[in-house]
């Protein structure tokens, strides 16, 4: 199981990046005539959140690719009580589910999908599909993916990445909510009352 996890996790995140970020970005860019990556590069607080996102992704990439490049150099810091086949199977299942969930949500967003907040182009408010159950299904999927990653590889580093990544996503969600409220007004307020921020079970 250990050897499978060692290859599965980096392969998973490579596919996640190629499909959910690069592939979707190229498809949306062709439709809207510009890059959907609208994260700012200034000295604002919002830009700082974007920078932290990039740093977390860089650490995630280094940490997951490391075992493939340097298998003899152990860098796991395992939490032994959680290091079991059952947790690993659950983690793999969560990661696969999250990947499928995120791709479906991105496809349902169509031209409205962005990396960041688009101040220049008004986007359509998507309320169907997975957005009937979550106002932020993509962030929900990414959070589940990080939780699955921790279960599949229960280490201090994986736990830290999951916690910090989740906090940054919660900050981003609230920034996006303010933007959507300014763009869509009462329509967004009605949607906000009907559907939960992360998940509505009713």
3-state secondary structure of 37: strand
3-state secondary structure of 155: strand
Please state the pTM of the whole predicted model: 0.93
Separation in Å, CA 104 to CA 26, 59, 83, 129:
16, 26, 31, 9
The pLDDT profile of the chain, 202 residues, written as one tens digit per residue, is 777 888 999 999 999 999 999 999 999 999 999 999 999 988 888 899 999 999 999 999 999 888 788 776 666 688 989 989 999 999 999 999 999 999 999 999 999 999 999 999 999 999 999 999 999 999 999 999 999 999 999 999 999 999 999 999 999 999 999 999 999 999 999 999 999 999 987 6
Alpha-carbon span 188 to 101, nearest angstrom? 23
Alpha-carbon span 163 to 195, nearest angstrom? 24
């Amino acid at each position: 199981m250990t050897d499978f996890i060692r290859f599965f996790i980096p392969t998973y995140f490579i596919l996640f990046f190629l499909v959910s970020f690069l592939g979707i970005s190229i498809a949306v860019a062709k439709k809207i005539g510009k890059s959907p990556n609208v994260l700012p590069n200034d000295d604002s607080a919002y830009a700082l959140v974007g920078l932290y996102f990039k740093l977390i992704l860089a650490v995630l990439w280094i940490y997951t690719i490391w075992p493939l490049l340097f298998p003899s150099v152990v860098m796991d810091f395992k939490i032994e009580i959680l290091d079991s086949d059952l947790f690993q199977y659950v983690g793999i299942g969560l990661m696969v589910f999250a990947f499928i969930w995120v791709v479906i949500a991105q496809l349902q967003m169509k031209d409205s999908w962005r990396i960041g907040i688009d101040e220049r182009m008004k986007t359509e408010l998507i309320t169907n599909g997975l957005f009937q159950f979550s106002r932020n299904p993509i962030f929900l999927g990414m959070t589940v993916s990080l939780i699955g990653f921790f279960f599949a590889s229960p280490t201090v580093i994986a736990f830290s990445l999951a916690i910090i990544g989740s906090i940054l996503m919660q900050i981003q969600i609230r920034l996006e909510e303010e933007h959507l409220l300014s763009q869509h007004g009462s329509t967004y307020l009605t949607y906000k009352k009907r559907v939960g921020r992360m998940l509505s079970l009713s």
